[in-house]
Amino acid sequence: MGTAATIALGVDPSSSGAQTSPPPVAAVANGVGIGPVLANVSFSVNGSRRALELDTRTTLLDALREHLHLTGTKKGCDHGQCGACTVIVDGQRINSCLTLAVMHEGSKVTTIEGLGTPDALHPLQAAFIRHDGYQCGYCTAGQICSAVAMLDEIKAGVPSHVSDDLTAQPSLREPELRERMSGNICRCGAYSNIVEAITEFAGRPA
């Protein structure tokens, strides 16, 4: 499988060398290093309970990548502007670079690794492959996690900025899809193929 597909599908990083955790930055009081403030946090990640002791400043993104070695979730801008780090927390899509891990005690976190594997693809992952919905693949994990949660928002009747009637059930028109996915940037410009993949998965002809 090519590099882009490997990135997009969230292959188990243990087969390609997991990253090690960076040393914590010590806090300083009156010129004396007093060490980081640590806290215990426990949450479910892809169906497995995980317990960590973390610097309280650790983002959920860094907890996933550096401590749990789930590197399918990507660090892009680290400012919540590109969507590459999107994961699903308690059924809602969030930018994991903008939230602290200790805020999610008891939460259920789903990353791209939890949606599917190379041997058992999630239907949306398979649709991305059929429609060439990625090129470099860096944004793809975030695109897929975002799209899965976005379709649940539509089913729940959550309107968007382009919904014509805020009280009606939203429909998956292309303007709706593009608006709802606008927080996920593809620097390669594969947007038309991403739209086709999502609409096929949603059951509307691409």
> Contact at 8 Å (CB) between 71 and 65?
yes
Handedness of CA 79, 14, 44, 145 (dihedral sign): positive
> Contact at 8 Å (CB) between 70 and 117?
no
Angle at 185 between CA 180 and CA 191, to 5 degrees: 75
Residue extents of the structural domains in the chain = 13-22+37-115, 123-202
Q: Residue 83 above 50 pLDDT?
A: yes
> Contact at 8 Å (CB) between 60 and 101?
yes
Q: Residue 182 above 90 pLDDT?
A: yes
Query: Per-residue pLDDT tens for 105-149?
Result: 999 999 999 999 999 999 999 999 999 999 999 999 999 999 999
Query: Per-residue pLDDT tens for 9-38?
Result: 565 544 444 455 555 555 565 656 678 999
pTM (two decimals): 0.82
- Mean pLDDT along residues 51-63: 98
Q: Residue 89 above 80 pLDDT?
A: yes
Class of domain 13-22+37-115: alpha beta
Same fold, 13-22+37-115 and 123-202: no
Q: Which CATH architecture has domain 123-202?
A: Orthogonal Bundle (1.10)
120 Ramachandran zone, left/alpha/beta (phi>0; psi -120 to 50): beta
Confidence of residue 42 (pLDDT cuts 50, 70, 90): very high
